[in-house]
Each structure stands twice: as C-alpha cells, then as structure tokens.
Amino acid sequence: MEASDVATCNAMNMCTSREEIVLQNLQAMVPVDSLIGKTVGLYFSEERCFPCVKFTPKLISVYQRIKQMLEEKGGEDFEIVFVSNDRDQSSFDSYFATMPWLALPFGDPTVKSLAKYFDVQGNPCLIIIGPDGKTITKQGRNLINLYQENAYPFTVAQVELLEKEIEEAAKSLPRSEYHAGHCHELTLVSEGTGGGPFICCDCDEQGSGWAYLCLECGYEVHPRCMRPVAPAGSIEGSKENVYWKLGRDVGIFSSPFFGHFNITFVSSLLN
C-alpha cells in the first residue's frame, strides 16, 4: 500500500473511532459506519471565507443532482461530510444549516487531524474518497467546477472520458466567432494551441481545455457561454453594436429589468 493510501486509511479510522460522530443536522447524529461503501467527499470550508460561500451553492446543486442520478441508477451512493474551520459554534450552525449533507461536530479534534493528513492548504477544498477508503482525488472542487455532476465518480478514468467527449465535440465548433458580450473576434483554442486553465469572462466559472479566446485582449469564455453575433462590419452586426452602445450609455444593461423589453425599447429608438 502506498504512503498516501496509508494516510487515507488512518484518517478514516480516526473518523470511525466513535460510534456516532457525524451530524445529520443540527439536532441528530448518525453512525459514521453509514459511510462505508460510499464515495465520500470531505468538504473543508468555513462561513467567513468568500470563495467558500460562493462555491457552496454550486456544490449543493451538483450534490443533489448526483444523488438523484444514483437513486435512479441504484447500487451506488455518494455523501459529503462538512469539515468546518469556522471560528465559533454560531458560525458553524448558521453555515451548516444551509447544507443538505453531513458534518463533523464543531470543534471535533478529528477536523485538525484530517486537515493535516490531507495537507489541506486552503478553503474550500473537496477531498474525494472512494468506497474502498482510498483517496480518489484532492481536486474535487476543480472537477465540480469543470464538469458539474458529470465528474462523478471523480476517477481518472471518468475525467479522461469527459476530456475525450469534449475533444470530439470541439471538432464541430466554429474556429472563430463574435460574441455578444465582447467587441473583438474570438478564436477557438485548446491547451495545445495557446489555451489552458482560465476563468470564463462571461459566467465567471473555471474552465480548462477548449475555449474562445480574444487574441487582442485576452478575453476568454467557455464554448457553452458563446452567444454568437454577426461581425461588426455587417448590417446586422452594426445594428447590434448600436444596441449595445446605446444600452450601455443609458444604463439599461445593468438594470435588473434588462431583457426583451429593453431590446425592443432600444430598437424603437433607432427606427
């Protein structure tokens, strides 16, 4: 057994050294042996951490979709255990109350031991442990950001499959496009042609692999976030640019009411 696997097994043994250690909610506890045979995510997080507060709602949504998928499929199960780094019981209680999964009790000494075993350098961090008790990946957060529920069961084989599917899908994408949220032409790139890990300028989510990149200013978006428009030199493109500039000048695109009504309103001003 490799050293990393020994550390994982030791950490899980520490979790199972007491009969009831995992909180189901703020009032009830469940036996930790209910996790045996499941894929488990150890979610290191805290309420006062902005990246944590931003990532948690996404993780909740993905968790619920994975649970639904496995319930329909049958034979497998997935669970997350919140490992808190909150400063006090009140912060823990209010943060955990937003979560649909389990948690280690606030102040449990196992929290520090797990953080040490898994060498957690910062929050949020999602460690994925397989049904056999061995670490699958320490990059659960990145995989959730990149692939959502499709990341499950987070194995190397699953990631390779997803990457192959993305590569195949990219073959049918246009080599360049104009995007409604940007003024320059965007070029399709991959890690081998000038791309790499990025934060999408449209949805503000993490990306990797294929992307549409502006070679002039570095603006970059997921292929799924592209909203193709006609080039600025065309009749349609010129009209769209006028719409966007007028909308920017009068402030309607920052309005919560931005939508079809505002586009129609701007159109009426131009005609």
**Helix residue ranges, H only, 203-259:** 235-250
pLDDT tens across 42-61, in order? 999 999 999 999 999 999 99
Confidence of residue 21 (pLDDT cuts 50, 70, 90): low
Model confidence at 160: pLDDT above 70: yes
Q: Is 99 in a helix, a strand, or coil?
A: coil
Task: Please answer whether residues 225 and 202 qualify as being in contact, where contact means their C-beta atoms are separated by less than 8 angstroms.
Answer: yes
Write down the pLDDT at residue 232.
65
Q: Domain spanning 169-228 has what CATH number?
A: 3.30.60
Write down the pLDDT at residue 199.
84
Q: Domain spanning 3-155 has what CATH number?
A: 3.40.30.10
Least confident of 11-15, 87-91, 265-269: 265-269
pTM here is 0.71
Model confidence at 262: pLDDT above 60: no
Nearest to 95 by CA among 52, 131, 158, 137: 52
More confident of the two residues 78 and 239: 78
Q: What percentage of residues in the chain have a pLDDT greater than 90? A: 44
Write down the pLDDT at residue 179.
92
Nearest to 248 by CA among 240, 179, 185: 240
Tell me how crowded residue 208 is: count the other CB atoms within 10 A of its CB.
18
Q: Residue ranges per domain, the chain?
A: 3-155, 169-228, 230-270
Strands (E), the chain: 20-23, 29-31, 39-45, 78-84, 102-103, 125-129, 135-137, 176-179, 185-189, 198-199, 206-207, 211-213, 220-221, 228-229
pLDDT tens across 66-113, in order? 999 999 988 889 999 999 999 999 999 999 999 999 999 998 888 999
**Phi and psi for 138 in degrees, rounded to 5?**
-100, 5
